[in-house]
Structure 1
């Protein structure tokens, strides 16, 4: 490895490269970078340049922790995320030899009661979306079929937006009614096709005329982009007055499975979760469900 960086800003840049080399997602890298930049601004107010790593002590990081926790304008989850980013960066500094000790050893994550703020759609809301897509099909059949297939892949199969974009025709086995998914962290899983989803895929493949190995194509490209799919949902959200995203439909898929008695381990496998702790949120009452319960029980 090259000479360890001497300044805080250099080490943050090196940390980003390290995360990329270890296959962390771009969103994760962006999040760590933003969190560490907050810390760097705090250091800038505390010390005059140059901001060498050697000026930092565990006391500095503890003081930064106290300031974060005393700021009532920052959500506890945000505070914890910034502290975790700092802890990961501190571990990295030891790894590359910039420090001899982990400066974040004494930092403690703020205890927060976990609440379910995830937004999923009701069956009525999904029905409104599918109705709007039927109207699109009347105006432009091919376009409507594409939109219908995308919605079914998200709400009936729980595919992430990048999983939909990367799905190939060869991944779909219509005879066995399954689809192979290359998921997050290059983890593969197999999902059963529902009848409506299978029918939508068959109709879509029959209607589209582009030559492409990918299942979903747009009028302009032989490989639909995540941005294009997000734009489609943005238009329907505006049209219906309902916040609809590919991820909210994926949440709806998981919630529907939980409500119909599918065990948590099976939901985790179908959704491609690396841990059932991620899946547990779907068997935890949401804020809306708690509010509904209170309306029924209040005096």
Structure 2
């Protein structure tokens, strides 16, 4: 098959593949770019790995980032499998590792102030519970009133069906306990058992919770999400010296490798490292 025939055959097969529309569009574009680059006479059937190695170098020479190079190689690999050329063995680029995006200390202060000033005690409770417990947004949305046990001096929140259907129980930070208690006092009437409800009395959706957290951040100039709060929780635990096994349990991780990411340096750490170098004179 010539280049045009390869592209046509791939596009027909791609249309039937069990992939999202966005993935199909991305793969189609990247495969078209690869076939345009492909030297005349190059044989993917016999020289597949050598050709892809050269294409990887071509992308790197064009100053493409490692993640971009890898996304193109993924698309080319799918082309090879789809057209029966086999799975390529050419290596991908190493991606620099960094900790997940978490709020820096000054940003944490801004967020906490924003949460404290929230118009609704519900929104304040969502912000502080997310910050001090690291719950996933779906876990926050799934909480029922009975999942939060409060007393004058302590409190707990129970996640019954976390990721992987994992159960965990977390102690509540005093500020989170106070905020949840205030919300329970203000909570408007509803027949729903949900902890967080909307004005109509229905369970607040994950999307609505995300919007509340984003707004709390936006009001003080922060670009963030519920994921940012979760990552901040994990990063704070690791950096205060909490045992990694305990952090994994509190985060609901099934693998320690997921938790160890929080001990990796952040972009801010790298900036501070350079800024701390001595200046001559």
Q: Give TM-score scaled by structure 1 length.
A: 0.71
> By how many angstroms is 1:187 displaced?
3.4
**Matched residue, 1:122:** 104
Corresponding residue SS for 1:16: coil
Contact 1:167 1:216 in 2 (8 A): yes
Kept in 2, the 8 Å contact 1:149–1:197? The answer is yes
Q: Secondary structure at the match of 2:133?
A: coil
Verify the 8 A CA contact 1:181 1:191 in the aligned structure 2: no
Partner of 2:94: 111
Map 1:1-299; keep pairs closer than 5 Å.
8-9=10-11, 11-12=13-14, 15-16=17-18, 32-33=23-24, 35-42=26-33, 45=36, 57=45, 59=47, 63-64=51-52, 66-71=54-59, 72-84=62-74, 99=84, 103-112=86-95, 114-116=96-98, 118-137=100-119, 143=120, 145-174=121-150, 177-209=156-188, 210-220=190-200, 222-299=202-279
Q: Paired residues, what number?
A: 262
Cα separation, partners in 2 of 1:285 and 1:241, compared to 1, 3 Å: same
Q: CA deviation at 1:257?
A: 0.1
Larger radius of gyration: 2
How far apart, CA to CA, are the structure 2 residues paired with 1:188 and 1:9?
A: 44
CA contact (8 A) 2:52 2:90 kept: no
What stretches of structure 1 of length at least 5 have no aligned partner? 1-5, 18-28, 48-54, 138-142
- Equivalent pair of 1:268/1:275 in contact (CA under 8 Å): yes
Q: What is the CA deviation profile of residues 16-53 of structure 1, one whole-angstrom value per residue up to 9, with x for unaligned ones?
A: 36xxxxxxxxxxx6775455334443477589xxxxxx
CA gap of 1:220–1:44, structure 2 versus 1, over 3 A, is farther
CA contact (8 A) 1:68 1:74 kept: no
Aligned to 1:20: none
Distance 1:197 1:12, change over 3 A: farther
Give the secondary structure class of the aligned counterpart of 2:170. strand
Q: Deviations over 1:192-250 (max 9, x none)?
A: 32232223223222311233222212225612233323332333333212223211111
Question: What CA RMSD, in Å, does the superposition of the two structures yield over aligned residues?
Answer: 3.4
**Shift of residue 167, structure 1, vs aligned partner:** 2.3
The answer to which structure, 1 or 2, has the higher relative contact order (CA under 8 A, 6+ apart) is 2
User: For residues 110 and 210 of structure 2, what CA distance do their matches in structure 1 show?
Assistant: 18
Stretches of structure 2 that go unaligned for 5 or more consecutive residues are 1-7
Query: SS of the residue aligned with 1:177?
Result: strand
Q: Hey, what's the Cα distance between the residues in 1 that align with 2:89 and 2:209?
A: 44
1:13 and 1:226, CA in 2 relative to 1: closer, same or farther beyond 3 A? farther
SS in 1 for 2:199: coil
Q: Which moved more, 1:161-170 or 1:171-180?
A: 171-180
Q: CA deviation at 1:76?
A: 0.3
